[in-house]
Structure 1
Amino acid sequence: MAPRPSSTFTRRSLLTAGLATAGAVALAGCSSTPLGAGLFGSPLNPEQLIFWNLFGGGDGSRMQTMEAGYRKANGGTKSLQATVFAWGNPYYSKLTLATVGNKPPDVAVAHLTRAKPLYDGDILEPITDADLASVGLSADSFNAKSWDAQKTDGKNIAIPLDTHPLVMFYNADVMKKAGLLDSDGKLKDLTGLDTFEAALAAISKVTGGTAITVANVSETATPWRVFQTLYWQITGATPFLSDNGSKITVNDDAYAKVMERIASWVKKGWLNKGLDYAGAQTAMFTGKSGFFLQGEWEITTAQSIKGLKFGMVPVPTLFDKPAAQADSHTFVLPRKDRTPAQRKQAMVFIKSMLDQSQTWAMGGHVPAYLPTLDSSAYKTLEPQADYSKAAEDAVYDDPAWYGGSGSTFEVTVGAQLALVQQLSSSPQAALSAIKGQLKVYTNTPSPL
């Protein structure tokens, strides 16, 4: 890729000029970042690594444990300042503005699907083979799917910590009554649409109604993730978006095949018509449904339910090939002037986090770091090891400046897919609405 010309007039150059005045004041007022953490505070301590992330809940607790491991090995409390920001667009806006304001953190977390637009906007620095080698890493240290997915223009732009795919949770007591457990107490193979629908029918007889739940009320991410999973199981599926989000290229026939099937499940009473996020998982937890489709991170919630016997598996292959919508949490290097020592310090921190991937895996995410993924400790971790193959079949959202986890694209498309599940819209009407609503974004150049 040719070097980005410094004279090009971009949103980055505009913001850089504006941050010296009113924009800087506004940012300082809304930021929760302590002084010196990389926005507009006092000069940074060169011996202290500044780390930004967006982890709350169980992920946040585990990340704090891992940060403590780094501090213990690298000089104590003053060696690291870690700051957590609100998940989604607010986080990425702060990271972008801090970088164009020349006060970014040393290391930041980014979803892999959000790292690409950041890199295209000149917010991230590539990570060289020499950077990796300085801490004993190489491309061979990582799950191939996540490592290959982060490559952009032949450059490494992010170091994956995990893969977090959509998976299928199941209530073991309901499965037993429905005759769907094998001799080891694990879910039987449900490959194939006919086999899967026969299982839904059997579960429905046990529950008296719902067999599988998918959150679709006040929730847009889950409908998109379920669609993307089943869509990419179909031979002939094409990217929903192409040319960095400037074109809509979804295969209409494959789209219809998935959404018409989902609507048919609702009409048969197998799939819920309307449930919010909490309601969808509670139905499975309480035995009112047998299956629940969600990200593997809800393992923590399931484990907290007293007396619940559950398992987790990759979403069964209903069509032609296995696929699972997924993203990855990655470490990125925001663009800034660094000495060789500071660059090495950033890599040492990232390596420390990777070395503690078993702690991270306790929260459900599939490790991207092969020494952990291939370890006996991880392979005996249940139910995590039962669905880890989903990482090999991961499908990442198409690159677009308005796309990725928690994005405008996800909200726009997911809202229409939810209406199909609610039987408030036909698959055809929803697709027409999606294409119409996305036009404003496909026709707008990236603002980065």
Structure 2
Amino acid sequence: MTGLTVEEITVMHQYVRPALSRRRFLTAAGAALAGTALLSGCSSGARPGATLVREWNLFSGGDGQRHVSMQDTFRQRTPGTALQATVLPWGAPFYTKLAMAAAGGRGPDLATMHLSRLPGFSPATLLDPYPSDLLAEYGITQDKFLPDVWNRCVVDGQVYAVPLDTHMIVHYYNTEICGQAGLIGADGKLVSPRGPDELLEQLRAVKQVTGNFGASLEAEQPWRFFASLYAQMGGEMIDANGTRVLLDVDRATEVLELLRRLAIDEQLVPGSADYPATVALFGGGQAGMSFNGEWEVTTYVDAGLPFGMAQMPDVYGSRLALGDSHTYVLPKQAVRDPEVLRATVEYIAAMLEDSLEWAKGGHVPAYQPVARSAEYAALKPQSEYAASAGAVAFDPPGWFSGSGSTLETVANDALGSVMTGALQPPAAAAQLKTALQRLVSIPSPV
């Protein structure tokens, strides 16, 4: 159910409560499953006697192509396993379908999930934990991952997710434009600004070169940029249980004042730009910097753009940036076949070991033997922001939170209004707090 709108969640919550029998719930789940068409599926190419592993994932575009390539490598190396991969629409459609299948104990053998979605997905209800001894047998142990990421995969002492990567918002810069603006150091890299004043100075210098904007960021959905800077202040939005709003209106207003100054007062960033426009402005040289997800690296490499990448700058006391991790989870099954589970873990281990290929698309490998390898260090510009993986701010806890969630939608309604000038920062901060209070007041539907 995670990923539905608040209204849909409210209705579902009333419907799935104890008054709903198991049979009626499974009937509803089956109808929902039938009504959601699969975008695409990869044939397992099953050989007689091969162990079938069914996977659902949400990787499309460049990520999808790279993931399929890694899966094909696994198939070639592991003929005893028949991998059947199915791609579903990213965001709410994926998580709604996955929750329905898992609630009936009929989930696939494996699925991808954003780590930020794990707490709200009710792991003990909709997911099966991994046997730690089986993970260890295939080299998947705590010491192979960053502590913060691994610890988020553990619920009540049991491992419910295995991280493939860490991905986050980063600082792109056009080396030619920034060079003309005097912002490139002797090492050929951007001199990272520190504090809001230095950031503004750099963006003004870049704007003089481009004649348009200093930087591009997604004005219609500025959640990632706002949440990054708010986290740098040490601000929290919701308590660990996802039931109490902790948003500091004064801190939020300070970040929003900066956003207004960037977009309205000095027009250093566009005040109304959707995601494609954000990418195009930087790719076309109309903005010399960009604050966006690292997954656009191949877009600019393929375009032959002269650019570099860096961690988010230290604007408010740290270099924290909003991020997430793609993980592998075991959707709940009424009966899980031990042979299939072993083949599933073997597949996960192979994907981790091959994650240098995944890193070429921008994501930082979660598997530290790859992240610390000489091969990854030689991968440019991807390795230039690798330290970001240790400075990630995750979405606030709550069933309504996580990548592509209701929280992001309601937050962007308030934040985007500041970028267009429709709301003053104090009013937008108050609107955001009211929206968060509404969300925490609705009980989790699972």
CA distance in 2, matches of 1:254, 1:439: 17
Summarize the Cα distance change of 1:159–1:23 in structure 2 as closer, same or farther, 3 Å threshold.
Answer: closer
CA distance in 2, matches of 1:110, 1:387: 23
Q: What SS does structure 2 have at the residue aligned with 1:48?
A: strand
Shift of 1:10: 9.5
CA distance in 2, matches of 1:15, 1:284: 54
- The question of 1:11 aligning with 2:10 is answered no
Summarize the Cα distance change of 1:185–1:15 in structure 2 as closer, same or farther, 3 Å threshold.
Answer: farther
Q: What SS does structure 1 have at the residue aligned with 2:219?
A: coil
Shift of 1:150: 2.3
- The question of 1:215 aligning with 2:212 is answered no
Residues 227, 259 of structure 1: 8 Å contact kept: yes
- Identify the match of residue 272 of structure 1 among 256, 270, 282: 270
**Residues 277-297 of structure 1, C-alpha deviations (whole Å, 9 max, x = no match):** 121222222221111111000
Q: 1:59-98 to 2 correspondence within 5 Å?
A: 59-75=63-79, 79-98=82-101
CA distance in 2, matches of 1:229, 1:352: 33
Q: 1:400-419 to 2 correspondence within 5 Å?
A: 400-419=398-417
Q: What SS does structure 2 have at the residue aligned with 1:343?
A: helix
**Residues 313-351 of structure 1, C-alpha deviations (whole Å, 9 max, x = no match):** 111101212201000000001122223322212111110
**Residues 352-390 of structure 1, C-alpha deviations (whole Å, 9 max, x = no match):** 110110110010000000011000010010000111111
Aligned partner of 1:324 in structure 2 is 321
RMSD: 2.3
Residues 29, 104 of structure 2: 8 Å contact kept: no
Summarize the Cα distance change of 1:21–1:396 in structure 2 as closer, same or farther, 3 Å threshold.
Answer: closer
Shift of 1:33: 8.0
Aligned partner of 2:155 in structure 1 is 152
**2:61 is matched by which residue type in structure 1?**
G
Q: 1:427-438 to 2 correspondence within 5 Å?
A: 427-438=425-436
Identical counterparts, % of pairs: 35
Residues 12, 100 of structure 1: 8 Å contact kept: no
Summarize the Cα distance change of 1:98–1:23 in structure 2 as closer, same or farther, 3 Å threshold.
Answer: closer
Residues 247, 433 of structure 2: 8 Å contact kept: no
Aligned partner of 1:103 in structure 2 is 106
Aligned partner of 1:192 in structure 2 is 195
- The question of 1:229 aligning with 2:196 is answered no
Q: Which moved more, 1:147-156 or 1:267-276?
A: 147-156
Shift of 1:190: 2.0
- Identify the match of residue 347 of structure 1 among 339, 345, 348: 345
Residues 39, 89 of structure 2: 8 Å contact kept: no
Residues 224, 414 of structure 1: 8 Å contact kept: yes
TM-score when normalising by structure 1: 0.89
Shift of 1:20: 4.7
Gaps of 5+ in 2: 1-13, 44-48
Q: What SS does structure 2 have at the residue aligned with 1:50?
A: strand
Aligned partner of 2:176 in structure 1 is 173
Q: Which moved more, 1:389-398 or 1:205-214?
A: 205-214
CA distance in 2, matches of 1:23, 1:398: 28
CA distance in 2, matches of 1:283, 1:36: 35
Summarize the Cα distance change of 1:442–1:48 in structure 2 as closer, same or farther, 3 Å threshold.
Answer: same
**1:210 is matched by which residue type in structure 2?**
F
Q: 1:241-390 to 2 correspondence within 5 Å?
A: 241-266=238-263, 267-306=265-304, 308-336=305-333, 337-390=335-388
Q: Which moved more, 1:146-155 or 1:377-386?
A: 146-155
- Identify the match of residue 124 of structure 1 among 103, 123, 127: 127
CA distance in 1, matches of 2:123, 2:328: 16
Aligned partner of 2:8 in structure 1 is none
CA distance in 1, matches of 2:309, 2:181: 17
CA distance in 2, matches of 1:447, 1:391: 32
Q: 1:24-63 to 2 correspondence within 5 Å?
A: 24-32=30-38, 47-63=51-67
**Residues 374-414 of structure 1, C-alpha deviations (whole Å, 9 max, x = no match):** 00010010000111111110011122111100000011102
CA distance in 2, matches of 1:95, 1:32: 12
Shift of 1:46: 8.2
CA distance in 1, matches of 2:161, 2:29: 29
**Residues 224-269 of structure 1, C-alpha deviations (whole Å, 9 max, x = no match):** 110111111114x2x2112533221112222112111111122112
TM-score when normalising by structure 2: 0.90
- Count residues in correspondence: 425
Residues 237, 247 of structure 2: 8 Å contact kept: yes
Shift of 1:87: 0.2
Residues 244, 398 of structure 1: 8 Å contact kept: no
Gaps of 5+ in 1: 1-8, 38-44
Shift of 1:273: 1.4
Residues 10, 447 of structure 1: 8 Å contact kept: no
Aligned partner of 2:10 in structure 1 is none
Q: What SS does structure 2 have at the residue aligned with 1:109?
A: strand
CA distance in 2, matches of 1:275, 1:402: 26
Residues 169, 292 of structure 2: 8 Å contact kept: yes
CA distance in 2, matches of 1:361, 1:325: 18
Residues 224, 417 of structure 1: 8 Å contact kept: yes
